[in-house]
Amino acid sequence: MKHGKKYADSVKAFDLTKPYETAEAVDIVLETAKAKFDETVEMHVRLGVDPRQADQQVRGVLVLPNGTGKTKRVLVIAKGAKADAAAAAGADYVGAEEMIAKIQNDNWFDFDVMITTPDMMGMVGRIGRVLGPKGLMPNPKTGTVTESVGTAVREAKGGRAEFRADRGACVHVPFGKMSFESDALKENFDVIVDALIKAKPTTAKGAYILSCTISATMTPGVKINVKELVRSKE
C-alpha cells in the first residue's frame, strides 16, 4: 500500500520496531498526527486464543471514563414506561412497530446503536438478517437487550465501547480522539486492557496478550511494550 508524504514524515518521527511504554506511545501518536480532521485513536490487540473454539470467544462491553469522542445516535425499541424512560435518558429515536417498519420498508439506518427490551425481541428478530451484518442487532451480552433502557441509553451516549476478537484473534477498539488530552487517552486505554484481561477465557493457555499497537486514523502504528503492560496489571 502506498502512503503519502505526511505518513512518511510521521514514520520518521519514531522507531517502528521499538515497543514503547503506553504513555510514551500515546504521546507519539498525538505528535505524529497531521490530518486536518479529529482522527480516531484506536488500539489493536492480538490475543493468544483460538476464536474457532466456542469456549475461547473474547467479547465484552465497557464504559470509557473519558468517552469515545463520538456522538452516537441511539434507537430504542420499547413501549409504555420503558419508552418514556428511553426518551427521558436522551434516546434519539423511540418506538416499536413503526420503527421496525421504517427499517424494513425504507431501508432506514440513521442510528448507531439499537437498544430494546426483552419482550420486544420477537419483533426485532424479524429484521435480524439486516441488523446483524451491520453490527446493530441487540444482544443481552452487550447490554442492548435490557429492562434498564434508561441506563443503557446513557451508557451508549456517554462512552460505551464494545470489543470482540475477530477470526484472527485480534481486537480493535477505538478509545478516543486526537483532540483528547494524553492522560484521558491513557486512562481509556488502561480501562480497555483491564476489561480484556477480565474477559480471558479459562481455557486459554500460555501468553494471552501477544501484541498491541495503537494508531490514529491516518498515522502509523506505535507498538506497545506488552511485557511491561502485562506486568503492570499483575
Encode pLDDT of 192-225 as tens digits: 999 999 999 999 989 999 999 999 998 889 999 9
Counting the structural domains of the chain, the total is 2
- pLDDT grade for 2, boundaries at 50, 70 and 90: low
Q: Based on the domain organization, do 37 and 152 belong to the same domain?
A: no
Q: Which range marks the domain in which residue 149 is found? A: 75-157
Q: Based on the domain organization, do 79 and 149 belong to the same domain?
A: yes
Domain boundary residue among 133, 157, 181? 157
Q: Kindly give the residue spans of alpha helices, DSSP state H, lying in 107-169.
A: 121-125, 128-131, 149-158
**What pLDDT score does 12 carry?**
65
Domain boundary residue among 142, 157, 172? 157
Q: Based on the domain organization, do 192 and 218 belong to the same domain?
A: yes
CATH of residue 182: 3.30.190.20
Q: Based on the domain organization, do 92 and 147 belong to the same domain?
A: yes
Q: Based on the domain organization, do 145 and 166 belong to the same domain?
A: no
Q: Based on the domain organization, do 222 and 172 belong to the same domain?
A: yes
The one-character DSSP state at 55 is G
pLDDT digits (tens, 9 = 90+) for 34-82: 888 999 999 999 999 998 999 999 999 898 999 888 888 999 999 999 9
In DSSP notation, 131-146 reads HGGGT----GGGT-B-
- What is the separation, in whole angstroms, between the first and last Cα of the chain? 39
Q: Based on the domain organization, do 45 and 89 belong to the same domain?
A: no
Q: Based on the domain organization, do 170 and 140 belong to the same domain?
A: no
pLDDT digits (tens, 9 = 90+) for 12-28: 668 888 999 999 999 99
Backbone torsions φ then ψ of 98, nearest 5 degrees: -65, -30
Cα dihedral 214→218→220→221 (10° resolution): 10
**What pLDDT score does 4 carry?**
56
Q: Which of 77, 61, 18 is nearest to 223 (CA)?
A: 18
Q: Based on the domain organization, do 137 and 183 belong to the same domain?
A: no
Q: Based on the domain organization, do 171 and 63 belong to the same domain?
A: yes
Q: What is the mean pLDDT of the chain?
A: 91
Domain boundary residue among 110, 141, 157? 157
Q: What is the pTM of this model?
A: 0.76
The one-character DSSP state at 35 is -
CATH of residue 100: 3.40.50.790
